[in-house]
Structure 1
Amino acid sequence: MTIPPQQRRLYGTLLKQHPDERDLLLTKADLLRAVRDWLHRTGYTEAATPILCASRESAPIPQFSTSHPVTGESFHLKHSAEEHLRRLVVSVDRVYDLGKAIRAERADDSHAIEFTMLQTAARDVTLADGVTLVTELVQYTIQTAFGTLRTPGGTDFSTIATRTVDDAIAEALHRTRAPAGAELVTAARSWLREHRLPAGESDWAVMEDFVKHAVEAAVTTPVVLHGFPYELRHNSRIDGRSGRAQRFSLIADGVEICDGGLKLRAADDYRPMVETNIALRTRLHDVPADEGPLDFLADIDCDPADVFTFGLGIERLVALCTGRTVFETLTFPFH
């Protein structure tokens, strides 16, 4: 059923007049309760992180910025809670934030500017054990909220398979083995060009677009992709034996609903990436260079550890489970 935007703007009236929309709101609430229940049962502590951040995050992305109307202080709106949680996990073994994220993205059926994000951090958890945690969380949440793992939207979460990104890339390129390094980036750029899709300027942007359109779009049943190429390492540690990033992504019906991995340990590990990302922000988005997240770097050096983090988009999961769009699952979609 298509509901005109002017009706969706009157959100309370919409829920009153359309029982299905009210049921969707209640389903989302059930799912959120199930997420929190699983996290508490598994030893995670909830910790709210700030929306207004004094420092930019280290990712190569633009953030919404604002200033205090009285003091003139500058702030950046939270893109992710990960760096604040990494600071907390120095002292508390497992922490999570379940709140708003605000991103400078173009809104579409699977993206929103403001949405609900679960972000976690846990000490002394391997990538394999972390993937198990994510799988258990998703299955418990869906079973609790819907009473079944075969969701109303048609996705069956009874089995969540695992697959290496190399295998998925090789399949997308119709090769027996995935290329690596510069050869992989060249092949990815060519694939995007052949399919008349735009390719970013940086190797990172090219690989992001390639994985989204060539790899993720081909996924039908729930799959955890792991072992990412070096170009898509983000802030994940590199496995010394395979040369692959200890990062994972949970995909279902062509949509990424969860991403994370085993993170870099100490400030010296992060600094080269942070400097590269600051330069990318300046070149690609005209964001002035800064000193980087100094408090974050100081805190993680207090007690370096193996830390597994993951982020889960709540509206994306609700949309996937109900056969709706992300926009339709937003509470007050027009704010």
Structure 2
Amino acid sequence: MSIKDKSAVLSLVVPVHNEEATVNIFYDTLQNIKKELPVAINFYFIDDGSDDKTLSIVKSLNKKDESVHYLSFSRNFGKEAALYAGLQHADGDYVAVMDVDLQDPPELLPEMLSEVMAGPYDAVGTRRVDRRKTKIVRTWFSTRFYKWMNRVSQMHLVEGARDYRVMKRQMVDAILSLPENQRFSKGIFTWVGFHTKYIPFEDRDRVAGKSSWTFWNLTKYGIEGIVSFSTLPLTIVTFLGLFSFGLAVVAGIFIVARALIDNTSVAGWPSMATIILFIGGIQLLSLGVIGRYLSAVFLEVKRRPVYIIKEGR
């Protein structure tokens, strides 16, 4: 395929949730970028149950531009569901994923697509190299998360990697072959393999509006990633159980030996209460970890759909 091929199509998947302030700005910005692309482009806006004017704005774009398509969920299913729906419906030769708030630099799109078309890469992604515009606490936890994931899982997550990327059709089909309900796209993008290059960029503010990603949402998202791609927490729980059991055996032997030698009872309610709380804490922690994995299995075996479409065009 030549570097410039207007017969080829790039499908741009854009999840949106309560983004009435950003959709038109995003669309207008991409119209300028569109001129620099070596292929035709189609937009796939995935409305994740917005309760503002986001859907009506997308519908108006759909009416005036035949390259704009949209799907609207029956409720909010989350960004992962929106990404999955977009990838399922995008039918271009190349597929890109991009946030609507323009924190993903749109000016990188032509370079990313050209690299995929001309080079040996199956995908070109992006990574944020600084987080100067992000709160310090969130930045610290984000850095720790990437380091932890790379230690406990059998894959390598590039620190600061964004969902923003351009992929060949073969890679998209591989991603869609994973039918799991509990999805962690950053891990899935890495797990399927394929030759991927990452382009660095500096942090930037949202073009408008307010992010719906709270610290608690990000924490839950991180836990889902660990549960989806690592069983190390279960191994840690196993060793904690063995450790507490060994400690109890040693303590039991010591107590019996002391009773036989001194013929006195072992006093000390504080120490006894400490031991009970220690063992109980380990048990509750273990049950919590096992329960989180069990809940993931529970959600998967029910085979509920990842999302439900209310309307689309």
Fold agreement, TM-score > 0.5: no
TM-score by length of 1: 0.25
Query: Of the two, which has the highest radius of gyration?
Result: 2
TM-score by length of 2: 0.27
Bigger share in helix: 2
